[in-house]
Amino acid sequence: MARWQPNASERLVVAALDLFAERGYENTTVIEIAERAGLTKSTFFRHFPDKREVLFGGDTMAGLLVDGITEASAAATPLEAVAHALDTIGREAFTPDRREFSARRRAVIAANPELREREALKGLGLAASMIDALGRRGVPDLASRVAAELGALALTIAYERWSDTTGGDEFGEVARRTLSEVRAASALC
């Protein structure tokens, strides 16, 4: 593959995921990822600070959540604004053509403690982004935190469900059902 071809970032992600699945995360180097993608080590580091981050997409997901909350109707409740953000993620990031990739990504992360830790930290960051976005909408602190935490839990569960199935449900549908289930379950506690 020629170095000048577009989508270097995506090529690096795919190469890393392939190598992590084949050799394991610990046994894969940045140089091997770059070579598999047909790029150089310096190109890798222009896109990612380290090999761990190649699977986590920077701040893209947080930005989508914030945008979704910001763009929700002014009359939306905090949880409805979070649901709108989950719809945004479904339209922009978790598209049907990404389902297989997402399942492979989850398997690689599940096999490595360092990656599981990074995934957990990313989840905390996503919740914090939602709390901030809800706060900017004028939602009180406690309500912002509860809605964001429920949304983050629903996001995690919906992502697992969506990436594990071959069904035709779009991510937004799975996420909304999951958010309703999480909300109902919280009422039982």
Residue-by-residue DSSP string for 142-176: HHHHHHHHHHHHHHHHHHHHHHH--SS--HHHHHH
Residues 6+ apart with CB under 8 A from 55: 13, 16, 17, 20, 105, 108, 109, 115, 118
Q: Do domains 8-54 and 56-188 have the same CATH topology?
A: no
User: For domain 8-54, which CATH number applies: 3.40.50.150, 1.10.390.10, 3.40.50.620, 1.10.10.60?
Assistant: 1.10.10.60
Domain residue spans in the chain?
A: 8-54, 56-188
According to the model, what pLDDT value does residue 4 have?
53
With a cut of 90, say whether residue 164 has pLDDT above it. no
Q: What is the pLDDT of residues 175-188, one digit of tens each?
A: 999 999 999 998 88
According to the model, what pLDDT value does residue 1 have?
46
**Residue 144 and residue 78 in contact, taking contact as beta carbons nearer than 8 Å:** yes
How many helices (H) and strands (E) would you count in the chain? 9, 0
**Residue 92 and residue 175 in contact, taking contact as beta carbons nearer than 8 Å:** no
Q: What is the pLDDT of residues 20-59, one digit of tens each?
A: 999 999 999 999 999 999 999 999 999 999 998 999 877 8
The CATH-assigned architecture of domain 56-188 is Orthogonal Bundle (1.10)
Lowest mean pLDDT: which of 18-32, 72-86, 125-139, 155-169? 155-169
Whole-angstrom distance, CA of residue 24 vs CA of residue 134: 39
Q: What is the pLDDT of residues 103-133, one digit of tens each?
A: 999 999 999 999 999 999 999 999 999 999 9
**pTM attached to this predicted model:** 0.89
